[in-house]
Structure 1
Amino acid sequence: MTNKTTGALSEGRPISTAPRDGTWIQAEIPGHGSDNIIAWLGGLEDEAGNECWAWHFMLEGQEPPDCWTDGVCWASNEDGAPSVQPTKWKPYYA
């Protein structure tokens, strides 16, 4: 359930417990609300050319935070600034 006053996921679980297998989830991102539909996906390369994984926005029409590059939550974005990490999650039911 989402708290109508703060927009926070009142029943959210810590993001560290979220599935990391491509499953879509509803996530709370500080300063960006709690209706964000994201998934942990691979197939990316870091600056050294190694495969890496990250949170991706999944629904068209949803805008990721400005600090996410191309809808992806990197440890640091294309400007070298840290991306705001999701903090809570709950299952997403389409």
Structure 2
Amino acid sequence: MLCTRIRTALSARLDGEELPPGLTARRLETHLADCRDCRRWEARSRALTAGLRRAAGHPEDEVDDPAAADALLARLRTASVRPGPVPPGGVDSGGKRAG
């Protein structure tokens, strides 16, 4: 089975959604048992999800709330760092080397 399909299913599972058609939980677990890359991807995705929930001030088991998502986005916008000057040899926002 293609890892991209598995990762789509893992993402759905993390979001509390149903698995894609034709993919069962058993097939997903079988693939994970055999695929180190997908296990690593799942671990990183879980860590990212948990970190975002902590940053939003939500416990791990709290369901998603649109108002909470809006509040998190607002906090991220106010905390965002404004771009400063590009050091010689650095990369500017256009992806071009400066200097």
Q: Which has the higher contact order (CA 8 A, sep 6+)?
A: 1
Q: Which has the higher helix share?
A: 2
Q: Which has the higher strand share?
A: 1
TM-score (norm 1): 0.23
TM-score (norm 2): 0.23
Larger Rg: 2
